[in-house]
Structure 1
Amino acid sequence: MASNLLPRLRPARQLLERLSRTPRQTVRPAATAAVQKKEGDISDAFASLSGMQFEPLEPRFKNIKARLVAGHEQAVQQSWNRLLASLREEIPIITELGSKVIPQIDFNDIDNASPEFRAEHKKRGVAVIRNVIPQEEALAMKDELREYIKANPHTKAFPADNPQVFELYWSPAQVKARAHPNLIKAQRFLMEFWHSNDPNALISSSHPTMYADRLRMRLPGDAKFALGPHVDGGSCERWEEGGYGRGKVYDSIWQGKWEEYDPWESSTRLPVMSDMYSGVGACMSETGPYEGTLLVNPLLNRATAYFLLRPFFSPKRPYPDPTAEMYDDSFLAPENWELDLSNSWLHGASPGHGQELRAALHPHLSLPSSMVHMPRVNPGDYVSWHCDTIHAVDSIHAGKSDSSVMYIPACPLTVSNAEFLERQREAFLNGTPCPDFGGGIGESNHVGRPGIEEIKIVDPEDGMRAFGLLEWDSSESGLSAAQREVMDRANKILGFYD
C-alpha cells in the first residue's frame, strides 16, 4: 500500500439507501452534476509518458516569475547560494545511507513512536509502517484483485499491450483496504505530523477521508512504466497566484528565506488550487530495490525549495553535456549561477501534467544518487511520502515476481475535501472513476463491484465515514472548536444535515 499525504456521464439521481445506525443517515445526491474529465490512463498525467518534450511555457509565466520575487531579488540570490551549499552537505549523506535513511516503524508501535522516528520522518518526509494489514489478509486482497481483473477483461490499463497500471478505483480489494481500521489508524498517525499556525483553520487531521486512487501490478521485465522523478499535486500551479499562491504556501521561498519554509504547516494549503488545467492525475507484494519499486528523494524542504527556485536561475557558462546525469563541481558552483528572469521556463512543469524532474533540468539535486530505493517492503506494509516529495519508480523491473501496490493517500477532513468526497461518493455508487482521474464508464458495468454493505462489513463507523457514508460525530470529546465546525460543515455538504 502506498500513501501520498493530500469526467461526461449522467450521474444517477437517487438517494442512497437508508443505513441502519442512526435516524440521520440518509444521504442526498450531489446538487449538480460534475463534468467528468476526459477518459484516459496514467500516461495522460505525465508529459514524459505522453511523449511530450519539456520546453519554455507561454510568455505569461515569465511575468509570474518576476512578480513572485519582486523586491526580493538579492535575497533570493543569496538564499539560492545557501541552498546549494546545504545540498552539497546533505546529498553525500543520502548517498552513503541509501535505503537506511528511510525511517521505519511497526504498526503496533505507532501509539508510542520514538522521538527519533518522529524527527527523521519530519526531516525526510517519507516512512514505512510495517504490518499495517496482516500479510495473509493483504495477499488475499491481491488474489481478489486478480479475480476481479480476470472477470472484467475490458478494464483499461497502461500500457495497453502489457497492462501494469489499472484504471480501477472500486475493486473489492481497494474498497476493503481503504476502509480497514488499521489503515485508517495508520493514516491518522501520519496526518498528525501536520500542524496549523491558525487555530481556527477548518481542518481535522484526526479524521481521515478516503481518496480513490489506482493500483499497480507491475510484471518482471517491464520497462514501459518508467516513471521518472516527479511530484504529485500539480506542476505550474506551484508558481501561480491562482494555484498554491492562494495560500501563500511557498512565500518564504520566494522571499529568499527557504530555511523558514515549513512543509508540515497545513492551514496555508487549504485554499490551494492544485488542478487549474483539469489534468488527470499500499503494498501487496514483497518488493525490494530494482524490483519495480519506489524511489524517493528524502530531502523534503531542501529539494522542494530547489525545484521551485530552479526556474529563476541560469548557468553563466553553457551545459558541458545536456545529456549527462551528473555535472562537475565548477559547473554546479554557486558563482556559476545567476538570477535570470528573462524566460518562461518552469523546468519540468507543463499545464495539466505532474511536475517532473530530470538530471539536466535539476543538476544540483544529483538525482541518480539522491533518489534512493525504499527498503524492502512486504504485503501489508504502508509506505508514505509527503505530498511535496520527489518520487519515482524503477525504470526496469528486474525482479522475479510482480510488484503490486494499491495507492491509498491519507487526506484530512476539510471543507474542500468534504465537497470532493460528495462527488467521489457518487462516483463510487455509479462505478465511475474518481473525479480527479480520467472519465468514462469506468467500472459501472464491472462484475463483482462492491457497494455500501461491503464497506459496512469492514468498518461500520470510521470506514463508512471515510467514504462519506456516515455522518461525523462532532460531539465526541477532545475536539477543538475548529474541528467541530469542519465536521458539522462536512455533514451538511454530505447531506446529513439540512
Structure 2
Amino acid sequence: MASTVLPGARAGRRVIQSLQKTSKQAVRNAATTSQKREGDISDAFASLSGLTFKPLEPRFADLKSQLIAGNEEALYDSWNRLLASLREEIPLIAEKGPRIVPEIDFKDIDNASEEFKAEHRKRGVAVIRNVMPEQEALALKKELRVYLEANPSTKAFPAENPQVYELYWSPSQIKARSHPNLIKAQRFLMEFWHSKDPNALISSSHPMIYADRLRMRMPGDAKFALGPHVDGGSCERWEPDGYGKGNVYDAIWQGKWEEYDPWESSCRLPVVSDKYQGVGACSMFRMFQGWLSLSNTGPFEGTLLVNPLLSRATAYFLLRPFFSPKKPAQDPTAETYEEAFLAPNNWELNRTPDSWLHGATPGHGQELRAQLHPHLNLPSSMVHMPRVNPGDYVSWHCDTIHAVDSVHAGKSDSSVMYIPACPLTVSNAEFSARQRETFLNGTPCPDFGGGVGESQHIGRPGVEDVRKVNPVEGMMAFGLLEWDSAEPNLTEGQKEVMDRANKVLGFYA
C-alpha cells in the first residue's frame, strides 16, 4: 500500500482546510443548496410511506413495448425456462434456510475456499465472521448510546419509539467505516466483480466510504417492518436513461436470462439509479449493501432476511410486469393453487403492455410482494441470516431482494451499522466530494433527508478522527487524501480512475 506521505498530501490538506473554512456558511446555506427534503427511512419505501402500488403514468407502457420489441417469442420461452428453474431452486432454499448463506472467517479471506467462492457467486450474500473483535464492536455500540444521549434531538424512525437513527457521522460510524479490517473485507467482496472492459474506469480493489444510517432495534418492535425490497432505485431498472444507460439487463430483455451476469461491473458505470431524487435513494454505485453487527442476533430477532436466488430473482421481478395470468389467483392454501395458478400455461405475455411495474414507485425502492410476484414464493425463498455476533459483517449484492423481521421477537437489541461496499469510480468520486462536504458540515449524507443533521451535535468527529483510525486507506476512502496512482500492480484503468478521482476531489488542478 502507499506510504503515509503521498505526493499530493500537502495539496490535500489545503483542500480540506479550504472546505473547513467554509463549513459554517455551508450549514447556513444547506436548506437552499442541493440537499434533499428532510425525511427518514420511511420516505425511501412506498409501503412505509403509506402509498399503494398501482399503475404508473402511461409512458411506462410505451417504454415496456420498446424494451422487448422484436423479442416477444424469445421472452416467452425465457420466462418459461425461468419458472422451471425457480421450481427447482426454491425447495432447496426452503430446506436449507439460513444454512444456505455462505460464511467465512475474516482470517481466511486471503485463502477463501472454492466452495465459498462458488456459493457466493450464486447466492450473492455472505457472512464474514470476526471482521472486528467482539469487544471492540460492543464498545462502538456503547459509544453510540453515549452520543445519542448527548444529542437527544437526533431524528429517528419511528419518532415515538426510535429503531433507525438518522445518524451519519457519529464517532462509532467513523471508526467502523475506516477500520482496516472492514476495508479489507470490502475489498475481498468487491473483487468477486469483474469487468469485460479491461480499461474500464473502476477499481474494485479500492473501497470508497458511503455514509449510511444505523439500526438499534428493540425487542417487540413491529413498526420497522420492511418487507422484501431491492435498493438502488425501482422504475430506473426499466428506463433507458436509468439502468438502460449501461444496458445492464439487456440479456433479460432479449430472452436470454441465463446469460445475464450480475457480477459485470463496467455496464453499471453509466447507470442513473436515482432519477427522482428520492429521500434515501442511493445514487452511488454500491456493489454490496452490508452491515456490521453490534449484537448477538438470530432469526426472528429483528434481523435480516435475504433471497439467495440473485440472477433468477432479478430476472423474475424484471420480467413480471410483462406477463399476466389467464385465470385469477385462487386461495393460496388450496391444494391446486400451484398447479392451477402458477402453472406456466396459465401465464401469457401481454401483447399490449400496460403501465404496471409491479412494486415500483418513482422515488422509492423496488418492493416485492407474494401477491405481485407469486412464482418467487417469498415465504419460502426469503431466508434469515444465520445468527451473528458483534463484529461480524453481513453483505448482499446490490440486486438482492432483502427484508427485515416483521416483528422483533428476541430479548435484546438488534443493532447494526449499515456500511456498504462501493468501488472507486469517477461518479463515486463525484458523490464523495459532495459527501465530504456534508461530513465536514455535519449535515446528512447527500442521498438522505436534508436539514441541519448533526451540525450542532456534541462530540461529532472530524478529519483528525478519521486519520487516527486509518491514516492512509481510511482517509483515501473518505475522500480526505488523494489516491496513489503510483501504487504497484495497477491496471491502466485503475491508474486513470485514480487520477480522475483526484481531480474531481480537488487534489489536482
How would you bin the TM-score normalised by the shorter chain?
over 0.9
- The correspondence for 1:295, drawn from 305, 309, 312, is 305
Q: Residue deviations 1:414-458, cap 9 Å, x none?
A: 000000000000000000000011101100001110001111000
Say which SS state the counterpart of residue 328 (structure 1) adopts.
helix
Say which SS state the counterpart of residue 27 (structure 1) adopts.
helix
2:291 corresponds to 1:318: no
Q: 2:307 is aligned with what amino acid?
A: N
2:37 corresponds to 1:27: no
- The correspondence for 1:426, drawn from 421, 437, 456, is 437
- Name the residue aligned to 1:304: 314
Does the 8 A contact of 1:165 with 1:214 survive in 2? yes
Say which SS state the counterpart of residue 204 (structure 2) adopts.
strand
Once the two structures are superposed, the pairs formed by residues 85-484 of structure 1 within 5 Å of their partners are: 85-281=84-280, 282-321=292-331, 327-340=337-350, 341-484=352-495
CA deviation after TM superposition for structure 1 residue 342, in Å: 3.1
CA deviation after TM superposition for structure 1 residue 21, in Å: 8.6
How many Å separate the matches in 2 of 1:313 and 1:456?
54
Say which SS state the counterpart of residue 23 (structure 1) adopts.
helix
Does the 8 A contact of 2:302 with 2:408 survive in 1? yes
Does the 8 A contact of 2:324 with 2:348 survive in 1? yes
CA deviation after TM superposition for structure 1 residue 322, in Å: 8.7
CA deviation after TM superposition for structure 1 residue 241, in Å: 0.4
Q: CA RMSD in A?
A: 1.8
Q: Residue deviations 1:12-64, cap 9 Å, x none?
A: xxxxxx99993332226689985110100000000000011101000000001
Does the 8 A contact of 2:9 with 2:481 survive in 1? no
Say which SS state the counterpart of residue 392 (structure 1) adopts.
strand
Say which SS state the counterpart of residue 293 (structure 2) adopts.
coil
Q: 1:292 is aligned with what amino acid?
A: G
How many Å separate the matches in 2 of 1:385 and 1:196?
19
How many Å separate the matches in 1 of 2:448 and 2:73?
41
Say which SS state the counterpart of residue 205 (structure 1) adopts.
strand
How many Å separate the matches in 1 of 2:330 and 2:321?
19
CA deviation after TM superposition for structure 1 residue 329, in Å: 2.3
Q: 1:456 is aligned with what amino acid?
A: R
Does the 8 A contact of 1:323 with 1:360 survive in 2? no
Say which SS state the counterpart of residue 53 (structure 1) adopts.
coil
Say which SS state the counterpart of residue 436 (structure 1) adopts.
coil
Does the 8 A contact of 1:327 with 1:363 survive in 2? no
Does the 8 A contact of 2:78 with 2:255 survive in 1? yes
Say which SS state the counterpart of residue 426 (structure 1) adopts.
helix
User: Which stretch of the first structure deviates more once superposed, 62-71 or 326-335?
Assistant: 326-335
Q: 1:19 to 1:74 in 2, by over 3 A?
A: closer
Task: For structure 2, list consecutive stretches of 5 or more residues without a partner in the other structure.
Answer: 281-291
Q: Please give the TM-score of this superposition, normalised by the length of structure 2.
A: 0.92
Does the 8 A contact of 1:45 with 1:353 survive in 2? yes
Does the 8 A contact of 2:62 with 2:353 survive in 1? no
Q: 1:201 to 1:327 in 2, by over 3 A?
A: farther
Does the 8 A contact of 1:297 with 1:389 survive in 2? yes
How many Å separate the matches in 2 of 1:384 and 1:41?
23
How many Å separate the matches in 2 of 1:321 and 1:42?
34
Say which SS state the counterpart of residue 234 (structure 1) adopts.
coil
Q: Please give the TM-score of this superposition, normalised by the length of structure 1.
A: 0.94
How many Å separate the matches in 2 of 1:342 and 1:479?
47
Q: 1:363 is aligned with what amino acid?
A: P
Q: 1:100 to 1:322 in 2, by over 3 A?
A: closer
- Name the residue aligned to 2:59: 60
How many Å separate the matches in 1 of 2:339 and 2:296?
39
Does the 8 A contact of 1:456 with 1:463 survive in 2? yes
Does the 8 A contact of 2:8 with 2:482 survive in 1? no
How many Å separate the matches in 2 of 1:449 and 1:24?
25
- Name the residue aligned to 2:289: none
Does the 8 A contact of 1:371 with 1:391 survive in 2? yes
Count of aligned positions: 480
CA deviation after TM superposition for structure 1 residue 343, in Å: 1.1
Q: 1:268 is aligned with what amino acid?
A: C
Q: 1:90 to 1:479 in 2, by over 3 A?
A: same
Does the 8 A contact of 1:216 with 1:403 survive in 2? yes
Say which SS state the counterpart of residue 82 (structure 1) adopts.
helix
Task: For structure 1, list consecutive stretches of 5 or more residues without a partner in the other structure.
Answer: 1-17
